[in-house]
Amino acid sequence: MNITIKDKNYRLVWGMGAIEIYCDTLECDLDGLAMIEDVSQPLKQLKAMLTIVYAAIKNGCEIDNVECDVTYRQLQEWLDQAEQGTADNIMQDFAQSKIFGKTLSEYFQTQPEETGKVKKKSASVKS
């Protein structure tokens, strides 16, 4: 996906590169991606969404070997002024992106659960 900010085209490149930039910026691990969908903390959610988009811009610039001359604040202003639905379209593009050959939703749904937990039978189950 491409976006144009201040008459310059930027390619959003998601994947591991953008996720690593995101995690480094927010000082989190992969679990920190959950902030993007956490509607219970709207300010943190907005910051997480902007950070992943900015990370994709920076990742795209690095991969394309071009200067990243847009700032985080310029991205914020651009999104504030963008047509309604722009942020949703960008986040949908992110959700459909791939990591290790799987879409993000597929990758995170198939991750093994914590080991050592045993599911208990409910009281209504008879042996």
In a 13 Å sphere around the CA of 1, the CA atoms on its Cβ side amount to: 19
Model pLDDT, residue 108: 74
Give the residues of the chain that fall short of pLDDT 50.
Answer: 112-127
Model pLDDT, residue 106: 82
Q: How far is CA 76 from CA 68, 71, 127, in A?
A: 15, 9, 59
Q: Beta strand pairing status for 8-11 and 2-5?
A: antiparallel
- The residue type of 29 is D
pLDDT, tens only, 49-63: 999 999 999 999 999
Model pLDDT, residue 46: 95
How many C-beta atoms lie closer than 10 Å to residue 56's C-beta? 27
Model pLDDT, residue 105: 77
- Write the CB contacts of 62 (distance below 8 Å, at least 6 apart in sequence): 17, 68
Model pLDDT, residue 117: 43
Model pLDDT, residue 59: 98
Model pLDDT, residue 125: 44
